[in-house]
A = this chain, B = another copy of it.
């Protein structure tokens, strides 16, 4: 199931373009205006629920911090658990971590080692607000596997297609993006 044209328009129109953030030349896709709009937020979450209710998911994993917003709401709707994947140093218990490359330097994300330990081969949906180069999402999908679960799909509200992140991530897991920016 994908978005209807009406749903797509409501969601697309609720996302704000902010020029030159976080640095000159970049147009930032601001999803706070989507969250702020009860109709658009409702349409988005209802669509995700309709798409994923038949996937037999055991957990939603969300990426720090905007992935928490959509992921936790979806987990609540599906009646399943939510697992945060966080930037290094934020999770209190024993973690597994994965490094990934940025434009300059490297970054690192972590998951609790026992995040999926209650369910054998748990089925997990990975979610974030946006995919750019896909570095964070790729590292997050690898963490899900290392923690003993299966990353069934990775889902993004916005995909910046010109950065090829979806293409790169498809080697790791299935990918579904609602709004594609070319």
On A, residues with C-beta under 8 Å from B are 16, 18, 21-22, 28, 30, 32, 35-38, 41-42, 45, 59, 62, 64-66, 68-70, 72-73, 75-77, 79-84, 86, 89-93, 112, 115, 118
Contact = CB atoms under 8 A, between A and B. Distances in A.
A68 B79 contact: no
Contacts of A86: 65
A115 B89 CA distance: 30
Contacts of A28: 92
A36 B83 contact: yes
A115 B82 contact: no
Given A35-B83, A69-B68, A84-B69, A41 B92 contact: no
Contacts of A76: 41-42, 45, 73, 76-77
Given A72-B72, A115-B36, A81 B41 contact: yes
Contact of A92 (B21, B62, B92): B21
Contacts of A62: 69
A18 B79 contact: no
A158 to B, nearest CB: 13
B38 A72 contact: no
B82 A41 contact: yes
A18 to B, nearest CB: 4
A176 to B, nearest CB: 19
A92 B64 CA distance: 17
A93 B32 contact: yes
A77 B22 CA distance: 32
